[in-house]
Amino acid sequence: MKALFIGGTGTISTAISSQLIQNGCELYLLNRGNRNNLLPDGAKELKADINDEQAVAALIKGLSFDVVADFIAFVPSQLERDYRLFKDKTRQFIFISSASAYQKPLSDYCITEGTPLANPYWAYSRNKIACEEFLLRLYRDKGFPITIVRPSHTYDERSIPLGVHGSKGSWPVAKRMLEGKPVIIHGDGTSLWTMTHSSDFARAFIGLMGNIHALGETVQITSDETVTWNQIYESIATALGVKLNAVHVASDFLAACGMLIGVDYGGALLGDKANSVVFNNAKLKRFVPGFTATVRFDEGIRQTVDFILSHPEYQTDDPEFDAWCDKVVVAQQQALKAVFG
């Protein structure tokens, strides 16, 4: 198989790239070359900014692919560009959408690809919906061979997956755990969530590549494991070897307070993580027979924590977020004192 990835060094795409190389795929990665240390040995780099359409057209002149996948398209105009570049150069174009595009609030707790798309809380999700609609029109009207993939919360060894963190990533929350400080969990922590390890996602994604049954289709890729946010944070604390000091804070209150540090919890929480989600992956398993996600969250998070603790370059402090957490916790305590006198 001959494939081109636009991006290729993110949480999802890095795992896919590595597995494809191991499978003998002829893989091209189109990116700006800023994260060359993450490129798998054997991949062929096409160094360019995808937004420089003329430069990219020159790079791919004379090339054609079995699969082109764009991991960094977020608005329809970017897909309009992709169509111009690849309409005659690929047998399959894969777009990475998002499970956050599903309706909020849900009308049914169990999510399938037929669940309606609507997210009034998050522009990111609405843009992904618009991208899907654009591609489906291309498929219907022009026969462009698209496949739409909807991931949910996918993680790898480089970042601890959380519900509430600052703009500099998840390490500051882990650091608070290690220091015994209060750690904020949105809501009461009992809402249901699904975490998917990138290695599991990669195996499913590769099963869709070059798959004739996936053309014109939308497929979600998640683990079948369902966990609560309390279980997620407890698993992280256990992996760190500490006792969790959890403080539960209402999601809408966090959404309002997030503006103080420039974080959109209105989208990330109210439009995504504050909602209970359970995914039905029957369609994926029909297209990729035998696929099962095998990395249980408590096992996967141990690998992540071990990696981050041994790699200081992934331990980025965020004093602003740390102070914000303390401020939110104190505000909630003061509110309780005001009520009870």
Range 2-155+195-221: architecture per CATH: 3-Layer(aba) Sandwich (3.40)
Q: Quick check: 99 and 151 in contact, CB under 8 A?
A: yes
Confidence of residue 242 (pLDDT cuts 50, 70, 90): very high
Helix residue ranges, H only, the chain: 11-22, 53-59, 76-86, 123-142, 171-178, 198-208, 229-240, 251-257, 265, 282-287, 297-309, 319-340
For residue 38, pLDDT beyond 80: no
Q: What's the pLDDT at 338? A: 92
Q: Shortest CA distance to 235 belongs to which of 301, 309, 307?
A: 301
How far is residue 309's CA from residue 251's CA, in Å, rounded to a whole number?
A: 29
Q: Provide the 3-class DSSP secondary structure of residue 28.
A: strand
DSSP 47-114: ES-TT-HHHHHHHTTT--BSEEEESS--SHHHHHHHHHHHTTTBS-EEEE--GGGB-SS-SSSEE-TT
Q: What is the mean pLDDT of residues 57-64?
A: 95
Q: What's the pLDDT at 155? A: 97
pLDDT tens-place string over residues 66-108: 999 999 999 999 999 999 999 999 999 999 999 999 999 999 9
Q: What's the pLDDT at 208? A: 98
Q: What is the mean pLDDT of residues 215-236?
A: 98
Q: Would you state the structure tokens that stand for residue 276, as one six-digit string?
A: 């209970």
Q: What's the pLDDT at 36? A: 64
Q: Which of 31-45, 136-150, 211-225 has the lowest mean pLDDT?
A: 31-45
- Tokens 């959109």 belong to which residue? 264
Q: Quick check: 155 and 195 in contact, CB under 8 A?
A: yes
Helix residue ranges, H only, 268-318: 282-287, 297-309
Give percent of the chain above pLDDT 70.
99
For residue 64, pLDDT beyond 80: yes
Confidence of residue 41 (pLDDT cuts 50, 70, 90): confident
Q: What's the pLDDT at 35? A: 65
Q: What is the mean pLDDT of residues 181-207?
A: 98
For residue 193, pLDDT beyond 90: yes
How far is residue 181's CA from residue 327's CA, in Å, rounded to a whole number?
A: 12
Mean pLDDT over the full length of the chain: 95
Q: Provide the 3-class DSSP secondary structure of residue 255.
A: helix
Q: Quick check: 220 and 279 in contact, CB under 8 A?
A: yes
Q: What's the pLDDT at 281? A: 98
Q: What's the pLDDT at 316? A: 97
Q: Quick check: 43 and 14 in contact, CB under 8 A?
A: no
pLDDT tens-place string over residues 258-301: 999 999 999 999 999 999 999 999 999 999 999 999 999 999 99
Which residues, 6 or more positions from 311, have their beta carbon under 8 angstroms from its beta carbon?
none
Q: What is the mean pLDDT of residues 164-172?
A: 96
Q: What's the pLDDT at 34? A: 67
Q: What's the pLDDT at 300? A: 98
How far is residue 126's CA from residue 113's CA, in Å, rounded to a whole number?
A: 16
Confidence of residue 40 (pLDDT cuts 50, 70, 90): confident
Higher pLDDT, 181 or 32: 181
Buried b (16+ CB within 10 A) or exposed e, 257-286: bbeebebbbbbbbbbbbbbebebbbebbee
Which residues, 6 or more positions from 319, have their beta carbon under 8 angstroms from its beta carbon?
none
How far is residue 46's CA from residue 26's CA, in Å, rounded to a whole number?
A: 13
